[in-house]
Structure 1
Amino acid sequence: MNLIAIQSIYRFEMARFFRTLTQSVISPVISTALYFVVFGAAIGSRMENVEGVPYGAFIVPGLIMLTVMTQATTNASFGIYFPKFIGTIYELLSAPVNFLEITIGYVGAAATKALIIGMIILATSFLFVDITIAHPLAMLAFLFLTALSFALLGFIIGIWAGNFEQLQLIPLLVITPLVFLGGSFYSTSMLPPVWQTITLFNPVHYLISGFRWSFFGTADVPVGISLIAIAVFTGACMTAIWWIFRTGWRIRQ
């Protein structure tokens, strides 16, 4: 394992993150704060508790998941796409590093960025609502696994994308709608039976449900199933990345 190569890629990506703090941190935090104002204060004050939890607190896990998923995907996809765009990826491929070391460097940096933003948003939520975390270690574990899995997905998107428009296509048109429809702002028990069944086919639903359980001790699906869903998703992404580097798809073509 070439630790120097991993460290170099990781440091380079993190340096880019800190050079653009306004875009990387302040923008998503302000956007999330607006969600708290609109949904938590304006709408939440007119709603009853959801599963015994005040609505303003109930949406906190969903908002954190929304930001972590989109940020992990976006950072990882741009991180690997930009070397493709300017042609420096060939220098990386010709260096004495394997696909695993390249993946760890880029994905590790993207996951770290998403975790930082997620923790900042969690701290921000305490300014708006009174919230207690029932299982803090489980919360950190779900946060880490979600950031890691979606950074892997973003890495694949960055390799697949042929232009900057395609780079934003999946996060905007797929991930964000799945988060909204996955129970980020409501419990699926509030839906009609047909829609409850349809929601079970949304993979993001299992992540949000498990993460919400770590806060309030209640979940729409068993926590074990949520962990299995994350493991299967992460394994599928790792397999896809291995195949991409083995065949050179969208990298050497």
Structure 2
Amino acid sequence: MNWLAVRSIYLFEMNRWRRTIVQSIVSPVISTSLYFVVFGAAIGSAISAIDGVAYGAYIVPGLLMLSLLTQSISNASFGIYFPRFSGTIYEILSAPVSPFEIVLGYVGAAATKSILLGLIILATAALFVPIRIDHPFVMVLFLVLTAATFSLFGFVIGLWADGFEKLQLVPLLIVTPLTFLGGSFYSIGMLPPFWRTVSLFNPVVYLVSGFRWSFFGRADVSVGLSLGMTFLFLALCLAAVTAMFRTGYRLKA
């Protein structure tokens, strides 16, 4: 394992993030604060508690998951796309660095950024609503697994995209709608039976449900199933990245 190469890629990505730290952190924090003002205060005051949890607190895991998914994808996709765009990716590919070490450096940096942002948003949420975390170790596990998994997914998008506009195509048209429809702001148990069944085909439901269980001990699906779906998506992303490096897809001229 070439740890020097992994460390160099990791630090380069973290330094790039620090140069844009204002827009990287302030914008998501302001967006989250607006969600709490609108949903937690204005709308939440008219909604009764869900499963014994005040609505303002109930939406915290969903908001965290929304930010975690979008930021993980964005950080990782741009991190690998820009070297392809500038041509510096060929210097990395010609260096004595394995594909695993390249992925570890880029995905590790993207996941670190997302986890730090998630913790900042959690601290911001605590200013608006009382928060309790019944299972902190499970919360950290879901936080790390989700950040790593969707950073890998973002890495796949960064390799697939052939233009800057495509970097936002999947997050805006697929991931964000799935997150909103995945029980971020409600329990799928509140839906009619037909739509409840349809919701179970949404993979984000399992992420939000497991993450919410770690906070309040309430879940729409079992925690074991949530973890299983997370590991399944992680395996699929690893398989996609492996296939892309093996074939040189969008990596070799």
* Residue 198 (structure 1) aligned with residue 193 (structure 2): no
Once residues 195 and 22 of structure 1 are traced to their aligned partners in structure 2, the CA distance between those partners, rounded to angstroms, is 40
1:191-214 CA-to-partner distances (Å, cap 9, x unmatched) read 010110011000111000000000
Aligned length, in residue pairs: 253
Partner of 1:69: 69
Q: Describe how 1:1-253 pairs up with structure 2 within 5 A.
A: 1-253=1-253
Once residues 247 and 138 of structure 1 are traced to their aligned partners in structure 2, the CA distance between those partners, rounded to angstroms, is 37
Q: RMSD of aligned C-alpha atoms?
A: 0.5
Q: Residue 38 of structure 1: CA displacement?
A: 0.3
Structure-1-length-normalised TM-score: 0.99
Once residues 21 and 248 of structure 1 are traced to their aligned partners in structure 2, the CA distance between those partners, rounded to angstroms, is 33
1:31-74 CA-to-partner distances (Å, cap 9, x unmatched) read 01000000000000111001110000000000000001100000
Q: Residue 131 of structure 1: CA displacement?
A: 1.3
Letter of the aligned partner of 1:48 in structure 2? S
Once residues 25 and 18 of structure 1 are traced to their aligned partners in structure 2, the CA distance between those partners, rounded to angstroms, is 10
Structure-2-length-normalised TM-score: 0.99
Letter of the aligned partner of 1:141 in structure 2? L
| Partner-residue secondary structure (3-state), 2:168 | helix
Once residues 245 and 131 of structure 2 are traced to their aligned partners in structure 1, the CA distance between those partners, rounded to angstroms, is 44
Letter of the aligned partner of 1:226 in structure 2? S
Q: Residue 250 of structure 1: CA displacement?
A: 1.2
Letter of the aligned partner of 2:18 in structure 1? F
Q: Residue 22 of structure 1: CA displacement?
A: 1.3
Once residues 44 and 199 of structure 1 are traced to their aligned partners in structure 2, the CA distance between those partners, rounded to angstroms, is 23
Once residues 174 and 9 of structure 2 are traced to their aligned partners in structure 1, the CA distance between those partners, rounded to angstroms, is 28
Letter of the aligned partner of 1:132 in structure 2? R
Q: Residue 166 of structure 1: CA displacement?
A: 0.4
Letter of the aligned partner of 2:113 in structure 1? K
Once residues 250 and 195 of structure 2 are traced to their aligned partners in structure 1, the CA distance between those partners, rounded to angstroms, is 38
Q: Residue 21 of structure 1: CA displacement?
A: 1.0
Once residues 250 and 225 of structure 2 are traced to their aligned partners in structure 1, the CA distance between those partners, rounded to angstroms, is 34
Once residues 62 and 245 of structure 2 are traced to their aligned partners in structure 1, the CA distance between those partners, rounded to angstroms, is 34
| Partner-residue secondary structure (3-state), 1:173 | helix
Once residues 131 and 230 of structure 2 are traced to their aligned partners in structure 1, the CA distance between those partners, rounded to angstroms, is 25
Gaps of 5+ in 1: none
Q: Residue 13 of structure 1: CA displacement?
A: 0.3
Percent of paired sites with the same residue: 63
